């Protein structure tokens, strides 16, 4: 204790204390409180007493088909966004890493627009673009003669799911491209040149030299996009509100409707807690796999 007080560590902890207290108040306490609500029958509004019901909400969740449908699409939506966004971001990063004499800065600046544009603006732009009568996508496809009838992007289950995935990939791939570009610029040119001297072609240099050195940034960017997408609410809510007929319903939207439409806060907190558990499990497993491959 004497060493702690006399050393720099005590001063550092004192500097961190105000920020740590703020984080506890606005982050940790609501998280603990939400988990606590999942073991109660808490309702929104009114003066109804709150009762502790143990695992009853979790038991009810096991037989809730609406929840499982939302969970299934949440997983499909998240992994589709991460996988497709990663490979598009990787291709774009490789293009940006090429030695282009003119326009590199402009191209990189334009690339970041989908990522930095506000989510509300992006959602309404896509909503108009997917319109089956006036949307630019249908109008362009019909003008080019590629389709005869407009595609109901937001009117059928299949196309609505495809549409929300496309919109989310568009918003997230620039982040992946930027992170992967940083990784590409840290790959030693001497190593790549040595591989070329040994007879490796461009594809082999990328496969056996460049890509293995991107594991660290790959793990970081895919994990972050996974967490952002799995927790995503506004991207789908503003585009389809979970429709049509709950086709694009994800757990976060289902929890929202359960809490604010059905007024069942305890059951909604249970859904949110399962999201937290799933994210923790997947993230831990994924990071262990990545570290194991590195070892």
Q: Structural domain boundaries of the chain?
A: 65-264
Where helices occur in 185-264 by DSSP H, the ranges are 189-197, 202-205, 215-230, 234-237, 251-260
Beta bridge mates, 40: 52
Task: Tell me what pLDDT residue 197 has.
Answer: 87
Looking at residue 222, its pLDDT comes to 92
Kind and range of the H or E element at 253? Answer: helix 251-260
The pLDDT tens digits for 73-87 are 999 999 999 999 999
CATH 3.40.50.150 fits 65-264, yes or no: no
- Give the global pTM: 0.87
Q: Which of 243, 242, 245, 244 is nearest to 256 (CA)?
A: 242
Q: Is the pLDDT of residue 1 over 80?
A: no
How high is the pLDDT of residue 295? 56
Q: Chain-centre distance of CA 17, in angstroms?
A: 30
Query: pLDDT tens across 152-198, in order?
Result: 999 999 999 999 999 999 999 999 999 999 999 888 888 888 888 88
């Amino acid at each position: 204790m004497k060493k702690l007080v006399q050393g720099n560590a005590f001063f550092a902890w004192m500097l961190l204390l105000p920020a740590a207290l703020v984080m506890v108040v606005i982050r940790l306490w609501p998280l603990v409180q939400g988990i606590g609500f999942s073991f109660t029958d808490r309702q929104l509004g009114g003066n109804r007493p709150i009762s502790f019901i143990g695992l009853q909400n979790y038991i009810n969740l096991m037989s809730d088909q609406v929840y499982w449908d939302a969970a299934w699409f949440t997983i499909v939506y998240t992994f589709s966004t991460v996988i497709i966004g990663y490979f598009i971001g990787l291709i774009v990063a490789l293009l940006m890493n090429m030695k282009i004499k003119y326009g590199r800065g402009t191209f990189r600046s334009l690339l970041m627009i989908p990522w930095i544009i506000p989510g509300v603006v992006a959602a309404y732009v896509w909503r108009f673009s997917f319109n089956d009568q006036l949307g630019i996508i249908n109008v362009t496809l019909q003008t080019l003669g590629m389709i005869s009838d407009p595609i109901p992007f937001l009117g059928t289950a299949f196309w609505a799911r495809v549409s929300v995935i496309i919109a989310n990939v568009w918003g997230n791939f620039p982040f992946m491209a930027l992170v992967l570009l940083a990784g590409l610029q840290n790959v030693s040119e001497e190593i790549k040149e040595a591989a070329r001297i040994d007879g490796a072609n461009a594809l082999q240099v990328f496969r056996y030299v460049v890509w293995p050195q991107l594991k660290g940034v790959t793990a970081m960017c895919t994990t972050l996009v996974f967490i952002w997408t799995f927790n995503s609410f506004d991207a789908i809510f503003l585009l389809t509100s979970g429709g049509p007929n709950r086709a694009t319903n994800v757990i976060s939207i289902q929890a929202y409707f359960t809490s604010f439409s059905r007024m069942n806060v305890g059951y909604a907190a249970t859904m949110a807690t399962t999201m937290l558990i799933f994210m923790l499990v997947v993230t831990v497993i994924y990071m262990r796999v990545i570290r194991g491959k590195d070892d």
